[in-house]
Amino acid sequence: MHYDSEIINHLIRNRRSIFPDQFEQGRVVPDEIIREILINATWAPTHGRNEPWLFTVFCGKGLQQLADFQSKLYKATAGDNFSEAKFVKLQQQPLKASHVIAIGMKRGENKRIPEIEDIEAVACAVQNIYLSVTAYELGGYLTTGGITYDSSAKDFFGLGEEDKLLGFFYIGYIAIPSTAGNRKSINQKVKWVQ
């Protein structure tokens, strides 16, 4: 099979985070496209074929359920660090997206595989989501804020004690594109040993 490397290079180098405030409000991505994006995610490399990802997709009225859950959990656990602005953001952000995917790492059956390798596999799956969203000309944004690392949130997402919630991926149609990106020269980040 032949792939056009220029198209692949362009796709990778033009992927951008598109934040919920940049989405076209009220326009819904067909579930079939989200399903294809998630199938692509599951083709990420995974040590021992552990396939440790668990994706929970919120759409329609489910977005309100996510907003209610995360804002209430934050309010209940923030204590003296409570911020009204953060509370309101947790209530409103999911409602700006077409779909929000909770990114879970569910430890695979093969426990001999180090946990970090399962986390890395999920990170590769997230990159597949990012590239697929870009290919479909949609906007996407991964956030690890809010309740992501609150262990009391795990049960809501079907995660056990040894599992991890790694973030939330927001998807929507683009109303306001992000600006062009840039990267440092690879000469600053790559060492060749010959």
Q: Structure tokens of 25?
A: 């409000």
Average pLDDT estimate for 32-47? 97
Contacts of 124 (CB under 8 A, 6+ apart): 44, 45, 46
Q: Note the pTM of the prediction, 2 decimals.
A: 0.95
**How far is Cα 74 from Cα 90, in angstroms, rounded to an integer?**
8
Alpha carbon of 63 to those of 22, 55, 70, 120, 143: distances in Å? 17, 14, 11, 27, 15
Confidence class of residue 110 from pLDDT cuts 50, 70 and 90? confident
The model's pLDDT over 8-38, given as tens digits with 9 standing for 90+, comes to 999 999 999 999 999 999 999 999 999 999 9
Question: Would you kindly state where each structural domain of the chain is located, as residue ranges?
Answer: 16-178
79 dihedral zone (left: phi>0; alpha: psi -120 to 50; beta): left
CB neighbours (10 Å) of residue 64?
13
The structural architecture, per CATH, of the domain 16-178 is 3-Layer(aba) Sandwich (3.40)
Average pLDDT estimate for 55-60? 98
The model's pLDDT over 165-180, given as tens digits with 9 standing for 90+, comes to 999 999 999 999 999 8
